[in-house]
Amino acid sequence: MSARATPAIAFAAGTLGIALFSAMDALMKGMTIAMGVYNAMLWRFGAIFVMSAIVHFARRPKRPGRAAMRIHLIRGLVTVVMSMLFFWGLAYVPMAQAITLTYIAPLLALYLAAVLLKERIGGAVIGASLLACAGVGVILLGQTRAEMGDMALLGTVAIIGSAICYSWNIILMRQQALVADPAEIAFFQSMIVGGTLALAAPWLGAMLPADQIAPTLLAAVLATVSLFLLSWAYARAEAHYLAPTEYTSFVWAALLGWLVFGEHVSFYTLAGAGLIVAACLIAARRKPETMTHEAEAALP
């Protein structure tokens, strides 16, 4: 596909990437319950590394520059923390609720952009932050009413921590897409994340159970294709334009959570999601080209 692809095509690619990533989340929830978050991530990223290496080196790529390697390394390390927190929390929290809590990430990214990209924070962002906090409060109230237990609360805290990491990841994703193609991004991210996880393998690693081989391979395929689609989309459209694609994941999470795990979406989750999404959309009103120019200027 051409680099001159229209924003609508980039938006569609981003939406499909989110759908595939949501399916991967469902697989990872089952894998985490079956063999723990560490081994689920270790084996998935191991499979992704093999797949992405084949694609990457088949193109006979040039060695990435210093700026690209710096962003690959930073995003890889952020992804380790982000993923560990999210998938551990996902094992104890319904999928739709977990996904909803991650929606605060685009809002938090605006604050990080103010620090990293020297953007201004307007009154709308502050007001939206309060609205998003109210949405999180509604979800926590729903947990209390449903008496989901201490592990659900800890899982929620972990997912919010993951969302904080993801807010930084949103900015890194855009910066990374400006200096590397999808194949390079997929390869180096899987190598850095998998390599970091492998450091603890002598103490935490375990053999992959036979009944988890197929889910692991499928999760790796879905994650790889999703990463390619999102990297392709973010290289052709501004981050603020693509941010709404994130919210389509709620529909997939609710559907998959119900079909696979028998989870039901509560009124509190729906209400909280509505408040958080509204807050993000309010805060995202900005000049179309701002993110592109500032992201480029922030590259070393």
* pLDDT tens figures, 86-141: 999 999 999 999 998 988 887 787 777 777 766 666 677 778 878 888 888 898 88
The per-residue pLDDT for range 48-81, each reduced to its tens digit, is 999 989 989 998 888 888 888 999 999 999 999 9
Q: Range of 88's domain?
A: 7-298
Count of helices and strands (H, E) across the chain: 14, 0
Residue 178 lies in a domain: yes
Residue 220 lies in a domain: yes
Residue 111 lies in a domain: yes
| pLDDT of 34 over the 90 cut | yes
CA distance 257 to 203: 32
Task: Indicate the pLDDT class of residue 293, thresholds 50, 70 and 90.
Answer: very low
Residue 1 lies in a domain: no
CA distance 215 to 205: 18
Residue 273 lies in a domain: yes
* Long-range contacts at 20-24 (CB < 8 A, ≥ 24 apart): 20/222, 20/223, 20/225, 20/226, 20/229, 21/222, 21/223, 21/226, 21/230, 21/249, 22/99, 22/249, 22/252, 22/253, 22/256, 23/222, 23/252, 23/256, 24/219, 24/222, 24/223, 24/226
Q: State residue 167's pLDDT score.
A: 87
| pLDDT of 156 over the 70 cut | yes
Give the whole-number percent of the chain exceeding pLDDT 90: 44
**DSSP 3-state percent helix, strand, coil across the chain (nearest 5):** 80, 0, 20
Q: State residue 5's pLDDT score.
A: 63
State residue 237 phi and psi, 5-degree precision.
Answer: -150, 155
Contact (Cβ atoms closer than 8 angstroms) between residue 132 and residue 279: yes
pTM score of the predicted model: 0.82
Residue type, 165: C
Residue with the bigger pLDDT between 202 and 121: it is: 202
Q: State residue 236's pLDDT score.
A: 79
CA distance 61 to 168: 27
CA distance 236 to 232: 7
Residue 155 lies in a domain: yes
Residue 167 lies in a domain: yes
- Please compute the mean of the pLDDT values over residues 219-238 and round it to a whole number: 85
| Residue 209 to residues 40, 42, 190, 222, Cα–Cα distance (Å) | 10, 13, 22, 20
Give the whole-number percent of the chain exceeding pLDDT 70: 89
Q: State residue 296's pLDDT score.
A: 36
183, two tokens: 């194949």
b/e 151-170 (16+ beta carbons within 10 angstroms → b): ebeebbebbbbbbbbbbbbb
CB atoms within 10 A of CB 119: 17
Contact (Cβ atoms closer than 8 angstroms) between residue 35 and residue 211: no
Residue 132 lies in a domain: yes
DSSP annotation of 148 reads -
Total tally of structural domains belonging to the chain:
1
The per-residue pLDDT for range 161-201, each reduced to its tens digit, is 999 998 888 888 878 878 888 888 889 999 999 999 999 99
CA distance 280 to 128: 7
